[in-house]
Amino acid sequence: MAKLYRLLTEEDTSAFCHKVSDALARGWDLYGAPSYAFDAANNVMRCAQAVTKEVKDDYSADMKLGQH
């Protein structure tokens, strides 16, 4: 059994909310508070949210986290 961790990031648009909502619908749990920062290279605000999930598989570095 393994606990997986992902950091979801996206520009501050509804796409970020959909990305987090999709992860929650797939059984991921919010981990900590969201972050919000200015991306000077692209002149946009960015959001980030960490999520975790317990899975039956053993952890492997080649796992496709988005498929769990």
Tell whether 65 is covered by a domain: no
Q: What is the pLDDT of residues 15-60, one digit of tens each?
A: 999 999 999 999 999 999 999 999 999 999 999 999 999 999 888 8
Question: For residue 20, what are the β-bridge partners?
Answer: none
Task: Identify the CATH number of the domain in which residue 10 sits.
Answer: 3.30.70
Q: What is the 3-state secondary structure (H, E, C) of the chain?
A: CEEEEEEEEEECCHHHHHHHHHHHHCCCEEEEEEEEEEECCCCEEEEEEEEEEEECCCCCCCCCHHHC
Confidence of residue 63 (pLDDT cuts 50, 70, 90): confident
- pLDDT on residue 57: 86
Structural domain includes residue 39: yes
> Residue 13: is its pLDDT beyond 90?
yes
Q: How many domains does the chain have?
A: 1
The answer to whether residue 63 sits within a structural domain is no
Specify the pLDDT at position 65. Answer: 84
Residue 15: inside a domain, yes or no? yes
